[in-house]
Structure 1
Amino acid sequence: MDQLKTHYRAYILFCSILSLVVGGTIGYFTPRPPKSDLPRSIVVSTPLPTPTPFTPTPLPLRVYVTGAVEQAGVYELSPGSIIQDAIAAASGPSLDADLESINLARELQDQQHVYVPREGEANPPPVVSGGASEGDGTGTGATVDINTATAAELETLPRIGPMTAQKIVEYREANGPFESIEGIQKVPGIGPATFAGFEDMITAEQ
């Protein structure tokens, strides 16, 4: 009986050792996955874009053009347009248009009336009226001192174009300052009708 137990224990020990040997052999010869040489991926969070503020599109100007133009009517112009653009929209000036009496570079505003005078026309209406310019003809409400104003400032007056403005400056330099606003009528090209168009918009400071 004791001999049988001894053989049984030896058998159990043998099986245990065999299991360890077989398991170690299998583990040793089992291929392992190769190590990756690639760097670990880094997750970078991208900030959300800042929304662009909404900018409304400026509305076009609506300008009524009449007088010495080829096709009078109401025209839509881009913001910042000038009198020259309005005349071009009306298919250009007619042959008898008096463009020398107009400041073609004057900027327009919405709902204004542009009148292009004819050569020799007596007492024509203001070149620009209505809109934000209604009431003073200039859109600024300021008066122009004819004794100190530059040619560009004089051109803001109705019916005073670049050539007439330069004549005023030259007359003032040759004859001294104007004693009164009526004295500007001594400048060639400025008669009573033209003077009446800007009489309330000028001063003659001494």
Structure 2
Amino acid sequence: MKNLFERNSRKRIRVFKFLLFFLALGTAFGLRGWVSQQEIVPPQPSQDASALSGEGADEKKVNLNQASLDNLMTLPGIGEKLAKRIKEYQDLNGPFPTIESVMEIKGVGSKNFNKIKPYITVE
């Protein structure tokens, strides 16, 4: 009787190992197929990168003396509040003589100025 149970146990272990092997094999092939189906998209150069490199930078510059609030808010680091300050400053003091003069406005320090410098002009 003892021999019968041991024989059944060994058989069950073999079947279990057999099933486990095919489960692992199926998982490996399934993952391999899933990984190969994922589409790899190469990064595209953005318009901002071309502006920073100087290609067509003049076309994209915002004239501080003629810009609307919406145009000013397209500049990096310039939100609605700061755009309003720029327009208010301009209304009180007239047109900006240089791009550096925008740093006289509260909130436009050297850090913000360096962010917007490639994108602004005062022509």
Bin the TM-score by the shorter chain. 0.5 to 0.7
- 2:14 is matched with which residue? none
Output the amino acid matched with 1:143.
K
The question of 1:159 aligning with 2:77 is answered yes
The question of 1:133 aligning with 2:51 is answered no
Output the amino acid matched with 1:145.
N
1:194 deviation in Å?
Answer: 0.5
- 2:116 is matched with which residue? 198
RCO (CA 8 Å, sep 6+): is it higher in 1 or 2?
A: 2
Question: Structure 1 regions of 5+ residues with no counterpart?
Answer: 1-110, 113-129
- 1:174 is matched with which residue? 92
Structure 2 length normalisation: TM-score?
A: 0.56
Output the amino acid matched with 1:162.
E
- 1:88 is matched with which residue? none
The question of 1:186 aligning with 2:104 is answered yes
Q: Which has the larger radius of gyration?
A: 1
Q: Find the aligned partners of 1:146 and 1:193 in 2 and give their Cα distance.
A: 18
Overall identity of the aligned pairs, in %: 34
1:135 deviation in Å?
Answer: 3.4
Q: Find the aligned partners of 1:201 and 1:155 in 2 and give their Cα distance.
A: 12
Question: Structure 2 regions of 5+ residues with no counterpart?
Answer: 1-42, 53-57
The structure whose residues are more often helix, as a share, is 2
1:141 deviation in Å?
Answer: 5.0
Q: Please give the per-residue CA displacement for 1:77-109, whole angstroms capped at 9, x wherever unaligned.
A: xxxxxxxxxxxxxxxxxxxxxxxxxxxxxxxxx
Q: Find the aligned partners of 1:135 and 1:198 in 2 and give their Cα distance.
A: 15
Structure 1 length normalisation: TM-score?
A: 0.34
Count of matched residue positions in the alignment of Structure 1 and Structure 2: 77
Q: Find the aligned partners of 2:62 and 2:88 in 1 and give their Cα distance.
A: 17
